[in-house]
Structure formats: structure tokens, C-alpha cells
Amino acid sequence: MTAASLVARCVHGLEPTVAAEILRRGLGTITHIGHREVHFRASRALALNIRTADDVFLLAAQGPDVGASRQGVAALAELADAADLAALARLRRDHGGPGALTGVEVSASFLGRRNFTRYDVEDAIGYALAARLGVGYHSRRGGAAPPPGHSGWRVTLDGERATLLLRIAARPLHRRAYKRRSIPGTLHPPLAAAMVAMAGIEPGDTVVDPCCGAGTLLIEAARQQPGARLYGFDLSERAVTAARENAAELPVCVARADAGRLPVPDGGADRVLANPPWGGQVSFGGLLAASAARWWAEVRRVLAPGGTAVVLLPGVGELPIGIRHGLTPVHLQRVRLAGAESFLVRWTAPR
Ligand SMILES: C[S@@+](CC[C@H](N)C(=O)[O-])C[C@H]1O[C@@H](n2cnc3c(N)ncnc32)[C@H](O)[C@@H]1O
């Protein structure tokens, strides 16, 4: 199979995690790491297995960034002219995507202030691509979702370069097929996958998510480490039902319990994975409504000596509380998702 230039797009802050996953799993060789993207070369059709990326694309064409002025937008159509569409269709199929390019939809983003909108960019390129392919173009300007089967193109302007990408899969990779049920505050699956990777779960490890919601962390853990024993708890019956349904075909045990009093023996968890309800879309209920500090005490109690917890924090203000409960933060990674900053923190319990 011909080697292809691929681009994995990701949550800002996860670029090193995505690069590490590509290298660790032998999926390709890294050629460039930029804002929310990792460029790599791959000659095997494995890119669609990357779990920490939002999506994976073929690099279709690159040119200079057109700057801030509205007049520059028309020049972006040259990217569409430069793309080798027959080769891209072949590579997309070789790497596990659909064969024919039967319609076009484009999603654009740029860094910095511009005197044009993303829709101006999308339409400039979309109409040019559709004309070359002799297929229909779906503009996102009206707000309607693109019809199924359209090829997904992406344009980024990063201040230096304009880049045109073609999505390999029929739909974005971050939309996991297992997520049949959702709940408020449910975790973005690639972020959950990054937390699982950070936890370094070994075969046979007991992994606990004290506030499992729809089960995203445990399902991603099952995919990365099928030999782990996975237990999820949540106060909400709706969340428990959602997690059970989402994890249906996986060995994940889910039960209704309060994270302030987990049905787990002292030192019974080798790993804790958690995205607790810090008061954004969801708040602590039950025993933790009065004192969220008790959450840390319970995590400390269930963690085995030398055990690891990976916790998503809304800010560094929670760090001293975890430390006061005897845990040591050993790795901290800042991420930015949908405009909000969060921190992935790996903690260890004393031996
Ligand atoms: C941010 S959500 C977790 C989302 C989850 N990681 C997912 O991907 O769907 C927080 C969860 O904590 C649960 N929760 C709130 N208070 C709790 C408590 N005292 N014990 C257990 N779960 C609690 C909520 O019901 C909610 O499902």
C-alpha cells in the first residue's frame, strides 16, 4: 500500500498524547505537530484505530495562509485545484474509508482575527471541489447538517499555512458507535481515551470510576486494556442505565452507589478514573453535596498502595485538596475543549 500523509486532529493540549499513541502503536511516523493537529506518514490502514484523536484526515493540499482580508478568500479555491482527487479517493479507500467521493461538505477553522467568516472559506473551497468532482456541495451556512454520504473536507488557516484535508472515515472518529445513550456532562471520548492512556492500566488491574455517568472512561479502558476488571458507580439511575447500555457488549460492571461511600474495599482499586461533577453541567449529590472533599478521601481509601488515579479537574484549585488527602500529583496536562480549560492530573497513592 502507498504511504500517505495523514493528519490527526485533536483537543488542544492532547497533541503530544496523540503523537505518543501513533508511535507506541506503530501507526506511523510523526512529521509535524501543530495547533490541534499531528501530521504523520502511514503505510498501513490502521489510522482509524487512533483513540485519542478527534478525527483522521488525508493531507490533500497546502498553500500560504491568505491573511485577514476578505479578498484573499477566493484564492483558497486554488487549494481545491491543487488536490489530486483521484489519488485521494484511492488512498481514502486503502485506509479504510468509503470509496467514491459522492458529495462534498467542508468545515473550516482559523487562528486569529479575519475579515471573513468560516462559511466564506467553506463555500469558496466547497463549490470548487464539487465542480471538479461533478457532485453536489452542501453549505453549512444555513445550519443544516450535511446529508449522509458526503465526503468530509476540512480547511485550517494557522497564520502561516492554509491546509486542505479529506476525512478518511464516513463520520468523525470522536462520534463513537457505542455511545447510544448520553447524559449531561458526558465526557468527550478522545479525552477519556487520553485519561486511560495516562493511567497505564495493566492486565488484571481493578479499575474504578466513582462517578461513571454514561460509562465513557470504562468503555475506553476496556478498548485499550481488555484484561482489566472495570467497575463503574453513579448516584443517578439514569446514568447507570446509560452506562450499562453503552457498555453492553463489554465486561464492565455498573452499579448505583454514592462516590462518598463506594462498595469497594480499602485498597481495592489499582486505578481510579474520574470526571467528577465539579459544578459545571452537573454537581455532586448524595453524601458529597455537602462536602466535595469527601470525594478525595474516598478515592484515597479505595486506591491500592502505589495505585494511580487520573482525574479531570476544572482548575488547579483542587490540587491542594487532593494533596491534603495523601495523594501526590505526578503529571499535569492542560487541555482546552469547547473553549473551556481543564486539567488532566495523574495522582499516585503512597506505597
Ligand atoms: C461529569 S458526570 C460524569 C460523566 C462521565 N464521565 C461520562 O462520560 O458520561 C458526573 C457524574 O457524577 C454523578 N454524581 C453526582 N454526585 C454523585 C455521587 N455522590 N456519587 C456518585 N455519582 C455522583 C452524576 O450523576 C454524573 O453522572
For residue range 249-261, list pLDDT tens digits in order. Answer: 899 999 999 999 9
Tell me which residue of 306, 313, 320 sits closest to 195, measured CA to CA. Answer: 313
Residue 128 has pLDDT above 70, yes or no: yes
Q: Which residue has the higher pLDDT, 323 or 102?
A: 323
Q: 216-224 and 237-246 are packed helices; what angle lies between their axes, rounded to 10 degrees?
A: 30
Structure confidence at residue 1 (pLDDT): 63
Q: Is 277 in the pocket of ligand 1 (CB under 6 A)?
A: yes
**Hey, whose CA ends up nearest to atom 25 of ligand 1?**
236
Q: Is 314 in the pocket of ligand 1 (CB under 6 A)?
A: no
Structure confidence at residue 339 (pLDDT): 84
CA distance 111 to 333: 22
Q: Is 260 in the pocket of ligand 1 (CB under 6 A)?
A: yes
Q: Among 178, 234, 312, which is best to mutate for testing ligand 1, by the most ligand atoms less than 8 A from CB?
A: 234
Chain Cα centroid distance, residue 1? 28
For residue range 168-221, list pLDDT tens digits in order. Answer: 999 899 999 999 999 999 999 999 999 999 999 999 999 999 999 999 999 999
Q: Is 239 in the pocket of ligand 1 (CB under 6 A)?
A: yes
Output helix, strand, coil percentages for the chain, rounded to the nearest 5: 30, 30, 40
Structure confidence at residue 282 (pLDDT): 85
β-bridge pairing 229-234 and 252-256? parallel
Q: How far is the CA of 276 from the centre of ligand 1 (A)?
A: 6
Residue 99 has pLDDT above 90, yes or no: no
**Hey, whose CA ends up nearest to atom 5 of ligand 1?**
213
Sign of CA dihedral 149, 79, 56, 40: positive
> Within 10 A of 249 (CB to CB), how many other CB atoms are there?
9
Q: Is 214 in the pocket of ligand 1 (CB under 6 A)?
A: yes
Structure confidence at residue 50 (pLDDT): 94
What mean pLDDT do residues 56-73 have?
94
Structure confidence at residue 106 (pLDDT): 97
Asked if 92 contacts 84 with a C-beta cutoff of 8 angstroms, the reply is no
Structure confidence at residue 203 (pLDDT): 97
CA distance 233 to 238: 12
Q: How far is the CA of 260 from the centre of ligand 1 (A)?
A: 12
Structural domains of the chain sorted by starting position, each given as residue range(s) with its CATH number in brackets:
4-167 (3.30.2130.30), 189-348 (3.40.50.150)
> Within 10 A of 128 (CB to CB), how many other CB atoms are there?
21
**Buried-exposed string 312-345: b where 16+ CB fall within 10 A, e elsewhere:** bbeeeebbeebeebebebeeebebebeeeebbbb
**Hey, whose CA ends up nearest to atom 15 of ligand 1?**
284
Asked if 306 contacts 327 with a C-beta cutoff of 8 angstroms, the reply is no
β-bridge pairing 229-234 and 206-209? parallel
Asked if 59 contacts 82 with a C-beta cutoff of 8 angstroms, the reply is no
Q: How far is the CA of 305 from the centre of ligand 1 (A)?
A: 25
Q: How far is the CA of 261 from the centre of ligand 1 (A)?
A: 14
Ligand 1, closest atom to CA 285? 16
Q: How far is the CA of 235 from the centre of ligand 1 (A)?
A: 7
Q: Among 217, 235, 272, which is best to mutate for testing ligand 1, by the most ligand atoms less than 8 A from CB?
A: 235
Residues 6+ apart with CB under 8 A from 333: 13, 14, 17, 194, 198, 343, 344, 345
Q: Among 211, 231, 233, 272, which is best to mutate for testing ligand 1, by the most ligand atoms less than 8 A from CB?
A: 211
Q: How far is the CA of 320 from the centre of ligand 1 (A)?
A: 22
Averaged pLDDT score across all residues of the chain: 94
* pTM assigned to the model: 0.94
98 pLDDT band, cuts 50/70/90, is very high
What mean pLDDT do residues 63-91 have?
93
Ligand 1, closest atom to CA 274? 6
51 pLDDT band, cuts 50/70/90, is very high
147, burial (CB in 10 Å: exposed 0-12, middle 13-18, buried 19+): exposed
CA distance 333 to 345: 7
Complete edge-to-edge strand list for the sheet that includes strand 328-337: 252-256, 229-234, 206-209, 269-274, 303-313, 340-348, 328-337
Asked if 204 contacts 227 with a C-beta cutoff of 8 angstroms, the reply is yes
Ligand 1, closest atom to CA 281? 1
Q: How far is the CA of 325 from the centre of ligand 1 (A)?
A: 21
Tell me which residue of 4, 2, 6 sits closest to 38, measured CA to CA. Answer: 6
**Identity of the residue numbered 187:** L
> By percentage, how much of the chain surpasses pLDDT 90?
86
Structure confidence at residue 46 (pLDDT): 74
